[in-house]
Amino acid sequence: MDSSKDEKKLLKYTYLLCFVCFFNLAIIKQPFDKGAMIMALVICLLIGYSYFVIRKFFSDGDKYIFIFSSILAVIGMVMLYRIDMTVAIRQIIWFAIGVTGFILIVVLMPDTSRFSKYKYIYLVFTLIFMGMGTFMGIELNGSKNWVDLGGFQFQPSEFGKLFLVAYLAADLKDYKNFKNLIIPALAVMMSLGFMVIQKDLGSALIFFGIAITMLYIATSKFKYVIVCFLLFAAGAVLSYKLFGHVRTRVMIWRNPWPYANDQSYQVVQSMFSIASGGLTGTGLGLGHPEYVPINTTDFIFAVLCEELGILIGFAIIILYFLLFYRCMRAAVYGNDEFSRLLAVGYSAMIASQVLVIVGGVMNAIPLTGITLPLVSRGGSSMLITFFSLGIIQKISEEGR
């Protein structure tokens, strides 16, 4: 099978998707929106040039990681342009920076196995970034997980995820017995504690998903997984008893309708939006995203389902599954235990984030305010996702 030929064919479909979607947005405006077509051209040039550079310098790795992530980013920028053109322009800048970081990691980063000896550095940065919101954070949308430094706002927990995975990979690679799990367990528990205090329940679920996945891969002992679930359940019950915001989230999840005009307004509007789109959607540009709160970040999946239909919503979930599969495939071919655990951790990070936000938007689990990777607006999320994918791509290149 000619992998390069298949990759280029999929890239052509990606360009076609980009131009068709932006052309659709251009013609429904009067006069014809030339800016939409310029956006499409810039996005396609960025994707094409990035693929050319990666293929030129490293021809052996799994290029589908980059292609699938680009398709998701295209879908996100299309929807953001449809909702708010200025937001989409900022997003394409972050996309360009993220892709640049992806390329630099693949081309310039030394062998990933060299970085396994810095586990305590990773631990220190993990705790710094996890705790930053608790001591320096500002409250936005009910969560104290944003930090403002000189007018630049970002979520420190996004960067904390990057270091948490690196620390767990560096520590768990030397697993021999239960004693080796004590410090990693304390690090994860502290991270979860900071997230609960900051009312960032979405990140807490993501960190738990990362930790449980990496623990099982490193030890192959299912009994540890069971113990972790029991501890997590105990912690969840304790949090429910101690924190009012946790009780509110559970109350909304169990029965949102009595509070539709107050606490559960967001999730109720999200479900109305998804239901109004049906299987095939109202059509791109023909829905009412203005009725969905926080529609460029937490609830962008609801807007997608309204205008493009539930079928396209399922297709997007399948795209995430394919991206997850290619990332885990890179872990299988890793040269050493640290690289394999690193790939598993970053793959689990993306997968957990998708499951948590899609489940919350559809009220399958208690709502948590996090972004949909590569699709939602958010500079720090876009950067961290592409940095993670760049490291996985590097591991894929090394393992061939």
392: confidence class by pLDDT, cuts 50, 70, 90: very high
Edge-to-edge strand ranges of the sheet holding 152-154: 138-140, 143-149, 152-154
Q: What is the pLDDT of residue 69?
A: 94
pLDDT in tens, 311-352: 999 999 999 999 999 999 888 887 788 889 999 999 999 999
**Domain residues of the chain, as ranges?**
3-108, 113-398
Which has more confidence, 42 or 235? 42
pLDDT in tens, 71-122: 999 999 999 999 989 999 999 999 999 999 998 888 888 888 888 888 899 9
Q: What is the mean pLDDT of the chain?
A: 87
- Could you tell me the pTM of the whole model? 0.92
pLDDT-wise least confident of 55-69, 124-138, 141-155: 141-155
pLDDT in tens, 270-323: 899 999 988 898 988 888 888 888 888 888 999 999 999 999 999 999 999 999
Q: What is the pLDDT of residue 107?
A: 84
